[in-house]
Amino acid sequence: MSLIEDIEESGWVFGKDTIDSIYACMQCGKCTGSCPSGRITGYRTRRLMNKVQSGDRSILEDPDIWLCTTCYTCYERCPREVKTTDVIRALRNVAAKEGYMSKAHRATAMYVIKTGHAVPINDATKKLRKKLGLSEIPPTTHKYPEALKAIQNISKKMKFDKLVGFDWNTMNLEEREEK
Amino acid sequence: MKGLVIGGGVAGLRAALDIANAGFDIYLVERDYSIGGRSAQITKSYPDLTNIKDVLKPLMEEVYNHERITLLTNSEVLGLEGEAGNFKVKIEKKPRYVPDGESCEKCIEVCPVEIPNEFNERLDKRKAIFVPFSYAIPDGCVIDETNCLHFKDGSCSRCKEVCDGINFDQKAETIEIDVGSVVVATGFDPFDPNLRPELAYDKYDGVITSLELERILDEDGPTGGKIIINGKEPKSVVFAHCIGSRDKKVENPYCSRICCMYTAKEAYMLREKLPNAEISACYIDMRAFGKGCEEFYEEVQKKQVLYRRGVAAEVYSNGVNLVLRAEDTLLSEPYESAADMIVLAVGVEPKEGSSELAENLGIKMDEYGFFVEKNMYDPVETEKEGIFLAGCCQGPKDITDSILQGGAAAAKAIGLMGRHSN
């Protein structure tokens, strides 16, 4: 399958418009010039779009694709309305399936499986919630452990645990050779 | 049989003259106080660097003095009925309140109102009684009644005290004329760069539009042709191409056709005035398709204007300079250019009021608001027989192409009126 077909399959949730928009890129560089991540990292949005357009699979193993913060600035500004950020997210789905996933993103996934939250609650958040007149514990998996069970079941059924390399014995990430 | 031309820019002037020279009487209706149109704001043409004034002024005078042309400035078309060869057109003719040619300008000195001068792209002020521009036709002063205190609250008549000719009692009149054909040549408006807020046009005085730079470059302009930004001569200038063109986000996905070359021309003129400044341009693609344009582009490059591929991403201030951030797409690296002046090459948009005119005339507009030609093989005709299009009201084009289309529309109008006269 071509890279674009892979993206279409793994990124179906973003819709066909997102995939079709890839072809509309005119390589103007508005995205790269606007990218806050690109100010401090080697992440280059336009180059990524170019590689996707030309079906260059080497992009899947490029660690830079994980440096997008999904701030959507490029998406907002793109003069051809390429759905850049969503393309990147769909591309990450393909990369993850092929075993390329940044450690930081795997850790985030680990927290989701372990706690139901990408960012579990901490003392500072509890304090802030209290100050705002909210219950200390939010009505999420933190309050309803049975909901966490459901999330963990979904993770197993969707093989999300395998995808990110979650070890149910240690409740932590498996040691994995970073590709 | 008489004809009508709506719009007194280069396309309309050319059309009116050609029809009149073929022996038909012509009404030329202009909404503004003077004929001349957008071209009058431009200093030089590309790629030959002709002074526009040297070409435009004689054309305007020829129209004004032509015995077969009736000029109706400060006038608008309100409605049209009938069919080709026999249209009835209703026109509102608004008063100037000052007799034509009255230009001692004492009235201007005493007028207490100061408002931004539209002709100079709001870079300086004008009075409520004013001369539209140095070679305006009809010449002399006019009163802009929306800003004049006499019309606001009756509190002022200082101009009348120094000029007997002024007559506040003049009233707008609606006239009805019979014409056989209509040429529509209503021109364009520049894109409003505030719709791209990341370019900070509204935020910094050093960020200007290309049309503002035209006024700054003009010896008759607000700075007398001196390049002054924030009180001093800029040491570095960046031109930003494609602002409001090729941009679906602002609903202008089309290319405005003129910006690549007017930017090259402005960069050339700027280099002549600022021999030591750093001048660069960020562009997506160069479209130098006109006769002599690619050669001119090379000439501009040789004047050490640095062209960097990649559109302007954003503009901010670091407290000392403006900074334009973009990607150099050939190097695949973002960069930042410090600049004292950033010139936004704004695109071409349909003239304000186009939809009302389309409705009044019964012609179609495209999704952007440009008037629609009959088809690509009848590029000056509309679906409504007897109504023709010329210039930027049909789509973006440069001065030469506008004149060309004005001539073509005139030929069609002459043919139609000839057929109906026999």
In the three-class reduction of DSSP (H, G, I as helix; E, B as strand; rest coil), residue B404 is classed as: helix
State residue A176's pLDDT score: 82
Task: Estimate to the nearest angstrom the gap between the alpha carbon of B10 and the chain centroid.
Answer: 10
Q: How many residues does chain A have?
A: 179
State residue B99's pLDDT score: 85
Pick the CATH number of B2-94+172-187+351-421 from 3.40.50.12590, 3.50.50.60, 3.40.50.150, 3.40.50.12780: 3.50.50.60
Q: For A24, which residue in chain B has the nearest alpha carbon? A: B248
pLDDT confidence band for A179 (50 / 70 / 90): low
Q: Which of A28, A32, A78 sits opposite B334 (nearest CB)?
A: A32
| Residues of chain A neighbouring B332 (CB-CB closer than 8 A) | 32, 44, 46-47
pLDDT confidence band for A1 (50 / 70 / 90): confident
Distance CA B149, CA B391 (A): 37
Mean pLDDT, to the nearest integer, of A98-125? 94
Question: Tokens at residue B60, please?
Answer: 């305007």
- Give alpha helix (H) positions in B137-233: 149-153, 158-162, 210-217
CB contact (8 A) between residue B326 and residue A47? no
Distance CA B125, CA B112 (A): 12
pLDDT in tens, B368-422: 999 999 999 999 999 999 999 999 999 999 999 999 999 999 999 999 999 998 7
CB contact (8 A) between residue A77 and residue B247? no
In the three-class reduction of DSSP (H, G, I as helix; E, B as strand; rest coil), residue B128 is classed as: coil
Give A98→chain B minimum CA distance, Å.
Answer: 27
Pick the CATH number of B192-347 from 3.40.50.300, 3.50.50.60, 1.10.760.10, 3.40.50.80: 3.50.50.60
Question: Tokens at residue B149, please?
Answer: 């205190």
Residues near B217 by Cβ (< 8 Å), separated by ≥ 6?
B43, B44, B225, B227, B266, B269, B270, B273
State residue B113's pLDDT score: 97
Residues near A143 by Cβ (< 8 Å), separated by ≥ 6?
A135, A137
Distance CA B28, CA B36 (A): 12
Closest CA to B206 of B305, B347, B115, B337: B337
CB contact (8 A) between residue B329 and residue A29? yes
State residue B102's pLDDT score: 67
Closest CA to B260 of B288, B239, B238, B223: B288
Q: How many CB atoms lie within 10 A of CB B350?
A: 24
Q: Is-contact B124 B222, C-beta < 8 A? A: yes
Mean pLDDT, to the nearest integer, of A65-89? 97
- Long-range contacts made by residues B272-275, C-beta under 8 angstroms, separation at least 24? B273/B217, B273/B225, B273/B226, B273/B227, B274/B227, B274/B233, B274/B234, B274/B237
Distance CA B130, CA B144 (A): 8
Closest CA to B360 of B166, B218, B184, B168: B184
Q: Which of B242, B284, B332 sits opposite A44 (nearest CB)?
A: B332
Mean pLDDT, to the nearest integer, of A64-74? 96
Q: For A37, which residue in chain B has the nearest alpha carbon? A: B334
Give A158→chain B minimum CA distance, Å.
Answer: 37
ipTM of the complex: 0.90
Distance CA B7, CA A143 (A): 71
Q: Is-contact B378 B173, C-beta < 8 A? A: no
State residue B103's pLDDT score: 67
Per-residue pLDDT at A178 exceeds 90 = no
State residue B292's pLDDT score: 97
Note whether A33 contacts B: Cβ–Cβ < 8 A. yes
Give the phi and the psi of residue B14 in degrees, each rounded to 5.
-60, -45
State residue A69's pLDDT score: 95
Note whether A77 contacts B: Cβ–Cβ < 8 A. yes
Interface test with chain B among A21, A25, A30, A51, by most B beta carbons within 10 Å: A30
Give the side-chain half-sphere CA count within 13 A for B115.
16
CB contact (8 A) between residue A79 and residue B246? yes
Note whether A51 contacts B: Cβ–Cβ < 8 A. no
Question: Tokens at residue B422, please?
Answer: 């026999």
Distance CA B411, CA B416 (A): 9
Give A108→chain B minimum CA distance, Å.
Answer: 30
- Residue where the block lists tokens 């409605």: B79
CB contact (8 A) between residue B327 and residue A33? yes
With DSSP H G I counted as helix, E B as strand and the rest as coil, what are the percentages for chain A, rounded to 5?
60, 0, 40
Note whether A59 contacts B: Cβ–Cβ < 8 A. no
Per-residue pLDDT at A24 exceeds 70 = yes
- Residue where the block lists tokens 């909210």: A134
Distance CA A156, CA A152 (A): 6
CA distances from B306 to A26, B277, B289, B300 (A): 22, 11, 20, 9
Q: Is-contact B276 B317, C-beta < 8 A? A: no
- Residue where the block lists tokens 């400035």: B73
Q: Is-contact B321 B327, C-beta < 8 A? A: no
How does DSSP classify residue B369?
A: S
In the three-class reduction of DSSP (H, G, I as helix; E, B as strand; rest coil), residue B190 is classed as: strand
State residue B413's pLDDT score: 98
Note whether A139 contacts B: Cβ–Cβ < 8 A. no
Q: For B332, which residue in chain A has the nearest alpha carbon? A: A47
State residue B191's pLDDT score: 98
State residue A177's pLDDT score: 75
- Residue where the block lists tokens 């100037």: B96
Taking the alpha carbons at both ends of chain A, their separation in whole angstroms is 21
Q: Which amino acid is at B123?
A: L
Residue ranges of domains in chain A: 3-97, 103-173
- Give alpha helix (H) positions in B3-104: 10-21, 52-65
With DSSP H G I counted as helix, E B as strand and the rest as coil, what are the percentages for chain B, rounded to 5?
30, 30, 45
Q: Is-contact B121 B209, C-beta < 8 A? A: yes
Q: How many CB atoms lie within 10 A of CB B320?
A: 8
Strand pairing partners for A114? Answer: none
pLDDT along chain B (422 residues), means of 10: 97 98 98 98 97 97 98 97 97 93 82 97 96 94 95 94 93 97 98 98 98 97 94 96 98 98 98 98 97 98 98 96 97 96 98 97 97 96 98 98 98 97 78
> Where along chain B do the CATH 3.50.50.60 domains lie?
2-94+172-187+351-421, 192-347
**What is the percent of chain A with per-residue pLDDT over 70, rounded to a whole number?**
99
CB contact (8 A) between residue B310 and residue A44? no
| Residues of chain B neighbouring A47 (CB-CB closer than 8 A) | 332
Mean pLDDT, to the nearest integer, of A121-129? 95
Residue by residue, DSSP assigns B232-301 as B--SEEEEEEEESSSBGGGTB-S--SSHHHHHHHHHHHHHHH-TTSEEEEEESS----STTHHHHHHHHH
| Residues of chain B neighbouring A31 (CB-CB closer than 8 A) | 327
Q: For A77, which residue in chain B has the nearest alpha carbon? A: B249
Q: Which amino acid is at B174?
A: T
Question: Tokens at residue A15, please?
Answer: 């819709």
Q: Which of A31, A76, A81 sits opposite B248 (nearest CB)?
A: A81
